[in-house]
């Protein structure tokens, strides 16, 4: 059997799930998480494929001994930091207020 919860808890979960607030929260979460996941995966795979199959391009020198491969690799760091920062901003502004409200609603109705 799955983890047990009380009928009361079950009802509150269902009630929250059916509400507009929750539907909006889920929409906002998925609208950020899914496209950005696809984006960084594609960007990373592009880098892996370029390192394997476009070695001439990757070996092109830009400044001194700095070549395209190094810059492309460093850009992966930049994009990782950038996406992490964007997500944190999105979550703080767009997700946390709704999530906090629904959590308070749950605590109040289930009573703890």
Binding site for other proteins (CB under 8 A): 1-3, 5, 9-10, 12-14, 16-17, 22, 25-26, 29, 32-33, 36-37, 40-41, 44-45, 47-49, 51-53, 55, 58-59, 63-67, 69-70, 73-74, 76-77, 80-81, 83-84, 87-88, 91, 96, 98-99, 102-103, 105-107, 110
- Least separation in angstroms between residue 46's CB and other proteins is 11
- Least separation in angstroms between residue 95's CB and other proteins is 8
CA distance to 12, 43, 102, 109, per residue, from 7 (Å): 9, 46, 18, 12
Widest pairwise Cα distance in the chain: 69
């Amino acid at each position: 059997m799955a983890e047990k919860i009380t009928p009361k808890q079950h009802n509150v979960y269902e009630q929250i799930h059916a509400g507009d607030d929750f539907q909006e929260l889920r929409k906002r979460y998925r609208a950020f998480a899914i496209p950005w996941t696809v984006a960084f995966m594609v960007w990373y795979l592009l880098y892996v494929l370029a390192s394997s199959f476009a070695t001439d391009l990757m070996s092109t020198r830009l400044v001194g001994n700095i070549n395209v491969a190094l810059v492309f690799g460093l850009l992966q760091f930049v994009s990782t930091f950038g996406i992490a920062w964007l997500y944190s901003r999105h979550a703080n502004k767009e997700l946390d207020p709704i999530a906090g409200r629904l959590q308070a609603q749950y605590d109040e109705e289930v009573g703890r």
